[in-house]
């Protein structure tokens, strides 16, 4: 007998999140029950050495393992196990309000969008828990560069709270192993011609230690965007060399 396909698969990567993961799973389970959403929860452990896996298994959710470290690696493995018609990605550090999941689904199902990202900048800038460097420089700058290079209009390209159809995910075909996985999703959603939307979300103070490496992850993200868009990257130098060549010729 063929196993029933759930409406939603919620996938969360996990690396030593024992302080928050139990709270996150319980909140997710409550949201699914309260809103009568047929869903599954998948935790992808990325090499935790604390009690994260034990806590997750004790709460009855599916736990898969990805030994290769990396935010993107964890999601790639987690999504490979997801069976839902729609996929939701979120962090296991209690920063996001899972009560927003029905709003994501409304944008996908009722409004016929393919790719919906939560924006921390659309709700009166209520992101006080984000480090100042990320809030005012890093995230806005990367968002502006991505919008400029790819002709999109995102407000928050580094949000970790997103939802998309399983079909959209297949069309996006992400491969990035690290934090730049988030940008690849945003870029490829545009390149694949998907219908994109943003909804406002609020970022809460994370529980536990952040795994983000500001400058290393920022450079990897910038490098990926430039490599994805070589025509614009080399347009300026090409024009300069063309003009220089013409001047030399004459």
Q: Is residue 2 part of a domain?
A: no
In a domain, 68, yes or no: yes
pTM of the full predicted structure? 0.81
14-18, 48-52, 85-89, 225-229: which has the minimum mean pLDDT?
225-229
Residue 87 phi, psi (nearest 5): -115, 135
% of the chain surpassing 90 pLDDT: 59
The two three-digit tokens of residue 12, written as one number: 């969360």
pLDDT, tens digit (0-9, with 9 covering 90-100), for 126-178: 555 555 444 555 567 777 877 788 778 888 888 889 999 999 999 999 999 98
Cβ-based burial of 188 (10 A; exposed 0-12, middle 13-18, buried ≥19) = buried
Q: What is the mean pLDDT of residues 118-127?
A: 70
> Which 8-state DSSP code applies to residue 137?
I
pLDDT of 89 over the 70 cut: yes
Mean pLDDT on 225-230: 64
Residue 23 located in a structural domain: yes
Find out whether 225 and 183 touch, Cβ atoms under 8 Å: yes
pLDDT reported for residue 2: 57
Q: Which of 33, 57, 29 is nearest to 45 (CA)?
A: 57
Provide the token pair at 243.
């003009």
Q: Is residue 65 part of a domain?
A: yes
Q: Percentage of the chain with pLDDT > 70? A: 75
Identify the residue with better confidence: 206 or 169. 169
Residue with tokens 């480090």: 131
Mean pLDDT of 85-97: 95
- pLDDT score of 243 more than 60: no
- Give SS3 for 219: helix
Kindly state whether residue 1 falls inside one of the protein's structural domains. no
CATH code where residue 56 lies: 3.90.550.10
Name the burial class of residue 248, with classes exposed (0-12), middle (13-18) and buried (19+) by CB atoms within 10 angstroms of its CB.
Answer: exposed
Mean pLDDT of 193-219: 77
Q: Is the dihedral of CA 101, 107, 112, 115 positive or negative?
A: negative
Q: Which residue has the higher pLDDT, 133 or 197?
A: 197
| pLDDT mean over 4-13 | 96
pLDDT value for 228:
64
Structural domain containing residue 207:
8-249
Query: What average pLDDT score do residues 101-125 get?
Result: 90
Site of tokens 């994805």: 228
Query: Residue 3 domain-assigned?
Result: no
Six token digits for residue 173: 């075909």
Give me the phi and psi of 34, to 5 degrees please: -65, -30
Domain count along the chain? 1
Give domain status of residue 154, yes or no. yes
DSSP code per residue over 10-57: EEEEESS-TTTHHHHHHHHHHHHHHTT--EEEEEEESS--SSHHHHHH
Average pLDDT over residues 52-71: 97
């Amino acid at each position: 007998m063929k196993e029933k396909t759930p409406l939603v698969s919620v996938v969360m990567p996990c690396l030593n999140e024992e302080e928050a993961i139990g709270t996150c799973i319980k909140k997710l389970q409550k949201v699914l029950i309260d809103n009568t959403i047929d869903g599954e929860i998948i935790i992808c452990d990325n090499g935790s050495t604390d009690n994260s896996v034990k806590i997750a298994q004790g709460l009855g959710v599916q736990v898969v393992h990805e030994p290769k470290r990396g935010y993107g690696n964890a999601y790639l493995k987690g999504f490979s196990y997801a069976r839902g018609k729609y996929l939701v990605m979120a962090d296991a550090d209690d920063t996001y309000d899972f009560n927003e999941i029905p709003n994501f689904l409304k944008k996908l199902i009722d409004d016929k969008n393919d790719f919906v990202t939560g924006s921390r900048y659309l709700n009166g800038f209520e992101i006080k828990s984000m480090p100042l460097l990320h809030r005012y420089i890093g995230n806005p700058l990367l968002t502006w560069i991505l919008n400029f290079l790819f002709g999109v209009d995102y407000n928050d390209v580094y949000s970790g709270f997103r939802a998309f159809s399983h079909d959209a995910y297949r069309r996006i075909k992400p491969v990035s192993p690290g934090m730049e996985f988030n940008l690849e999703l945003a870029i490829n959603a545009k390149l694949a011609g998907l219908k994109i939307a943003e909804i406002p979300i609020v970022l809460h103070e994370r529980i536990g230690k952040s795994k983000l490496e500001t400058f290393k992850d920022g450079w990897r993200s910038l490098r990926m965007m430039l490599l994805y868009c070589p025509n614009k990257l080399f347009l300026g130098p090409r024009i300069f060399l063309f003009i220089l060549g013409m001047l030399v010729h004459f």
